Structure 1
Amino acid sequence: MTSFTGLGLPAAVLRTLDEHGVTKPFPIQAAALPNALAGRDVLGRGRTGSGKTLAFGLGLLTRIAGRRAQPKEPLALVLVPTRELAQQVTEALTPYAEALRLRLATVVGGVSISRQIAALRDGAEVVVATPGRLHDLIERKGCRLGRVGITVLDEADQMCDMGFLPQVTEILDQVRPDGQRMLFSATLDGDVDQLVQRYLRDPAEHSVDPASSAVATIEHHLFVVHGPDRWSVATEIAARDGRVLLFLDTKHGVDQLTRHLRGSGVAAAALHSGKAQPQRTRTLNQFKNGEITALVATNVAARGLHIDDLDLIVNVDPATDPKDYLHRAGRTARAGRSGTVVSLVLSGQRRETSQVMADADVTAKVTKVRSGEAELSRITGAKAPSGKPLDGGPAQRPKNQNAPFRGLGSTKDPKTGSGSTTGSGSGTGSGSGARGSRKTNEARKLAEARKAARVRRGG
């Protein structure tokens, strides 16, 4: 299929596709749309960024066009694992829904549930929801699923991985038993296979990516770094010209690196599940329009996040699961473009990370790098940050190129490159030992003076 014409899509949808420059369907769209429009159950496998949203969305909207939902009773449901993906699906489908005069409602956590109840009470033909918040709305009698005739599970494997399987099955048990079901996932094993066996009837199966979902247009690099230098390397990469998405494992790590980057003059922002939804939405918008150039995130950004022309991903904390690696990497090289994925590893992590990549069917170029080196700049565009804090406070002290970075909050002796300490002063330079001794003597004299004063007062 070389165009959307001839599929039976409404003229209003074809005009909207043309207005948005969507002229040639992606493989998953060409494969799945005819079955979706025909009302068949669909089982599709494709990595994020392969065009699944329009593959199910155009068929769904076309099939309910001209119908009107009753209050609290939607006609179609799209279940997704994360708030960001829910908003992205809504944004992608809104122009076509408006062309067909259909109403969309987004139901996710982190925002006012009363507004979502009101939107459903006013009537919405299509609901895009995360399982947890939809479950809450059903419990509050704010939504009934008995008239849902088309149900889509997008990123089904992640919903199962996140522990949503019980809520998903509870929801699927409430929609019309004779309705159409469409399930899209990067992998079709484990709990996903249970959903397929239980809820899909003779589905049309379409797979446009291998199970590994590795992308040929991505260049993979494994940077072996010296432990104390890891943050300096990450900082110089984040200071590059152009946007970069950096992944860490924990919310604390994300916040810590973000503070450091902003203190170094890098326009960075944090994204993780601990942030309120309006803040997460604002951060993503700022990253998309270039106000933020470094997005620091947990795996919450590894699925469903679409950023045009994002060409660099950095795993500051290397992925420990091949699926996580592939989904992080899938934020770049979207829609046929190319991109680069870099993982920072200590020497002791190299073997484990290499195995993860091998399991993901990825071959990476291994390079030993240090901050300030030309090879680091050549591959990633890394450069020294300005050092001018974006949020006030003292400027970050410039760090010697190729000198180890001792971590947040530490300082360096410009002569020795060692981290300064208080107490006994065991530094390697002759000056550091003397300074430590003076501080110790001064502290002892002060304590003795305070003790003598208490004695004089009779204490």
Structure 2
Amino acid sequence: MTTTFSQLGLPTALVKALDKQGLTEPFPIQTATIRDVADGRDVAGRAPTGSGKTLAFGLPILATVAQARPNRPKALILAPTRELAEQIRRDLAPYGKAMHRQVFAIYGGVRYQAQKDWMRRGVDVLVATPGRLEDLIEQGSVDLSEVNIVTVDEADRMADMGFLPTVRRILNQTSKDRQTLLFSATLDGDVAVLIREYQNEPVRHEAGTVESETTDAEHHFWLVENDEKVQHTANIVGVANRSIVFTRTRHGADRLAKQLSRIGVGAVAMHGGRSQNQRRRALQSFASGEAQALIATDVAARGIHIDAVASVVHFDPPADHKDYLHRSGRTARAGAAGTVISLVTGSQKRAVRRIQDKLDLRHPIEKRSPGRADRPRREEPRPSKQQHPKRARSNKKSERPIAIVDHPAPRTKQKRKPTPDGTQSLHVSNLPWEVTDDDVRVLFSPYGRVKQATVIIDNRGRSKGFGFVDMPYPDAQRAMRTLDGSRLSGRPLKVKVAASRAKRN
């Protein structure tokens, strides 16, 4: 039986606000966590990126938090990066408004004065990065003594970035009888110490495992020459269209963005060396579709949440398996499809093998040469003593690349009831003659699970210009809104709800 947000005990105002956002059924981590948080219990949640954990802690906080006095917030949410802090604020803003509670974020890279002014007005739920929060505490603009509920989000990343001493100092300034929530991709090591020192008999909840960040994506490892990596990246982005590309350094991100732009690929760079406004503009350019590729460093990309990222490219291999998970988690979020491609030079093979072994990703490192377009081919897993059926995904696709899709402004949403099993069938027309079933599947998969994609062909085996795509109802609605009117090989696509099968026949 499906649980609803109302059944989890959330106030009517929050349930109505969720419904306006199109959210009626909670994700597993939300179902598991919301009641315990609302009941005042400490919670340690193990949840991968994209699992819905922000609402898991944010909704019950907003349901119970009291109004704050100037400079004295009642609830505190700590995040490791500016982007994640701002993302949390945006995610919670409509629900804060519904409950008449002020949610505000403070982080580095912006002027102090505006943040001080907001604190003087009174902020009920404060989202903050540790460094800027400590600065404002020292300047007398924030007093944490009345904070009675704290969330430490992405605690494992806090540890990786060396923030735990600061986090401890901050927690020590909050109310002694506070409720402490902690969410992390892992709950061991330094995170386990934080749980032991600052939580009281916490309830533990898990939504998937750390490895679940990788199992919903298709993984490819390509052995390439160093001077071919830019062209490979351009080809991948040209096929996938919406890609996040990771480099090891800030300079590498800037250089790659310029190189891609010179060969006709829209790319923007985002890293810690850029101002907050520059980073925000880069994100907006990528999210709107103006830029096809976001070139980012590990720290800068932490907390990015953009729907329908088709692929992640490891231009430079990550430092370890944890960074591989965090990077790869930018695609295949919340059950959607996605592709992860690692570009590996000969000198990097051994390090990449170690990452694969840690994550049990049994894929060959396949020799590739850049052609006109790169398209992942089916890869057979390397043999292992213990096979994992859940990870044995089929990567079979047509070898013919699809064209880049340009997204226009969303059109008016069409509504038609789904079939009894929740499937919505879409009619796609004005397709190029050379398009295949797999091309259409790849085109629609960033918006959700494609149950079936069929291009109607003539007696010569070529497309008649139309076909059908079956997807779960919410995914189909999202795909239709985005793809209707977009262009494929210069042709404007028409996407609408298909007639019933009886009428088609």
Return the TM-score normalized by structure 2.
0.73
Alpha-carbon distance, 1:211 to partner: 4.1
Q: Higher relative contact order by CA 8 Å / sep ≥ 6: 1 or 2?
A: 1
Question: Aligned residue for 2:46?
Answer: 45
Alpha-carbon distance, 1:68 to partner: 2.0
> What is the SS of the residue equivalent to 1:50?
coil
Checking the alignment, whether the CA contact within 8 Å between 2:102 and 2:124 is kept in structure 1 is yes
Q: Give 2:17's aligned amino acid.
A: T
Question: Aligned residue for 1:410?
Answer: none
Matched, 1:111 2:146: no
Once residues 241 and 201 of structure 1 are traced to their aligned partners in structure 2, the CA distance between those partners, rounded to angstroms, is 47
Q: Which structure is higher in strand share?
A: 2
Judging changes above 3 Å, is the alpha-carbon distance between structure 1 residues 303 and 360 closer, same or farther for their aligned structure 2 residues? Answer: farther
Matched, 1:262 2:283: no
Once residues 377 and 333 of structure 1 are traced to their aligned partners in structure 2, the CA distance between those partners, rounded to angstroms, is 16
TM-superposition CA deviations, 1:291-316 (whole Å, max 9, x none): 11110010024432111011200000
Following superposition of structure 1 onto structure 2, how do residues 239-254 of structure 1 map, counting pairs within 5 Å?
239-240=238-239, 242-254=241-253
How well do the aligned residues superpose, as a CA RMSD in angstroms? 1.9
Following superposition of structure 1 onto structure 2, how do residues 16-27 of structure 1 map, counting pairs within 5 Å?
16-27=17-28
Question: Aligned residue for 1:310?
Answer: 309
Give me the identity figure in percent.
46
TM-superposition CA deviations, 1:46-79 (whole Å, max 9, x none): 1111110000000100011xx3211100000000
Once residues 203 and 144 of structure 2 are traced to their aligned partners in structure 1, the CA distance between those partners, rounded to angstroms, is 24
Once residues 262 and 230 of structure 2 are traced to their aligned partners in structure 1, the CA distance between those partners, rounded to angstroms, is 13
Question: Aligned residue for 2:416?
Answer: none
Alpha-carbon distance, 1:226 to partner: 2.0
TM-superposition CA deviations, 1:383-424 (whole Å, max 9, x none): 999xxxxxxxxxxxxxxxxxxxxxxxxxxxxxxxxxxxxxxx
Alpha-carbon distance, 1:357 to partner: 1.8
Once residues 311 and 325 of structure 1 are traced to their aligned partners in structure 2, the CA distance between those partners, rounded to angstroms, is 17
Checking the alignment, whether the CA contact within 8 Å between 1:46 and 1:185 is kept in structure 2 is yes
Once residues 172 and 330 of structure 1 are traced to their aligned partners in structure 2, the CA distance between those partners, rounded to angstroms, is 29
Following superposition of structure 1 onto structure 2, how do residues 384-395 of structure 1 map, counting pairs within 5 Å?
none
Alpha-carbon distance, 1:318 to partner: 1.1
Once residues 193 and 16 of structure 2 are traced to their aligned partners in structure 1, the CA distance between those partners, rounded to angstroms, is 39
Which shifted more, 212-221 or 317-326? 212-221
TM-superposition CA deviations, 1:182-239 (whole Å, max 9, x none): 0000011221111101110001111122243443221100011123222221222233
Question: Aligned residue for 1:129?
Answer: 128
Question: Aligned residue for 1:12?
Answer: 13
Judging changes above 3 Å, is the alpha-carbon distance between structure 1 residues 76 and 171 closer, same or farther for their aligned structure 2 residues? Answer: same
Matched, 1:217 2:219: no
> What is the SS of the residue equivalent to 2:6?
coil
Q: Give 1:346's aligned amino acid.
A: T
Alpha-carbon distance, 1:375 to partner: 5.4
Judging changes above 3 Å, is the alpha-carbon distance between structure 1 residues 377 and 327 closer, same or farther for their aligned structure 2 residues? Answer: closer
> What is the SS of the residue equivalent to 2:239?
coil
Question: Aligned residue for 2:144?
Answer: 145
Checking the alignment, whether the CA contact within 8 Å between 1:73 and 1:145 is kept in structure 2 is yes
Which shifted more, 179-188 or 295-304? 295-304
Alpha-carbon distance, 1:382 to partner: 6.8
Matched, 1:226 2:215: no
Once residues 24 and 333 of structure 2 are traced to their aligned partners in structure 1, the CA distance between those partners, rounded to angstroms, is 17
Judging changes above 3 Å, is the alpha-carbon distance between structure 1 residues 325 and 264 closer, same or farther for their aligned structure 2 residues? Answer: same
Checking the alignment, whether the CA contact within 8 Å between 1:214 and 1:361 is kept in structure 2 is no
Following superposition of structure 1 onto structure 2, how do residues 32-431 of structure 1 map, counting pairs within 5 Å?
32-64=33-65, 67-240=66-239, 242-372=241-371, 376=375
Once residues 50 and 132 of structure 1 are traced to their aligned partners in structure 2, the CA distance between those partners, rounded to angstroms, is 26
Judging changes above 3 Å, is the alpha-carbon distance between structure 1 residues 299 and 381 closer, same or farther for their aligned structure 2 residues? Answer: farther
Judging changes above 3 Å, is the alpha-carbon distance between structure 1 residues 5 and 132 closer, same or farther for their aligned structure 2 residues? Answer: same
Checking the alignment, whether the CA contact within 8 Å between 2:245 and 2:315 is kept in structure 1 is yes
Judging changes above 3 Å, is the alpha-carbon distance between structure 1 residues 266 and 375 closer, same or farther for their aligned structure 2 residues? Answer: closer
Task: Look at both structures and tell me which one has the larger radius of gyration over its CA atoms.
Answer: 1
> What is the SS of the residue equivalent to 2:8?
coil
Aligned length: 383
Which shifted more, 356-365 or 255-264? 356-365
Which shifted more, 361-370 or 134-143? 361-370
Question: Aligned residue for 1:437?
Answer: none
> What is the SS of the residue equivalent to 1:6?
helix
TM-superposition CA deviations, 1:2-41 (whole Å, max 9, x none): 2112222111100011111111111111111110010100
Checking the alignment, whether the CA contact within 8 Å between 1:213 and 1:326 is kept in structure 2 is no
> What is the SS of the residue equivalent to 1:239?
helix
> What is the SS of the residue equivalent to 1:215?
helix
Q: Could you tell me which runs of 5 or more consecutive residues in structure 2 were left unpaired when the two chains were aligned.
A: 378-396, 405-505
Judging changes above 3 Å, is the alpha-carbon distance between structure 1 residues 297 and 71 closer, same or farther for their aligned structure 2 residues? Answer: same
Checking the alignment, whether the CA contact within 8 Å between 2:6 and 2:12 is kept in structure 1 is no
Dislocated runs of 4+, deviation >4 Å: 377-385
Q: Could you tell me which runs of 5 or more consecutive residues in structure 1 were left unpaired when the two chains were aligned.
A: 386-459
Checking the alignment, whether the CA contact within 8 Å between 2:267 and 2:294 is kept in structure 1 is yes
Q: Give 1:294's aligned amino acid.
A: A
Q: Give 2:294's aligned amino acid.
A: L
> What is the SS of the residue equivalent to 2:94?
helix
TM-superposition CA deviations, 1:103-138 (whole Å, max 9, x none): 111110000111001100110101000000000000
Q: Give 1:114's aligned amino acid.
A: Q
Once residues 159 and 193 of structure 1 are traced to their aligned partners in structure 2, the CA distance between those partners, rounded to angstroms, is 13
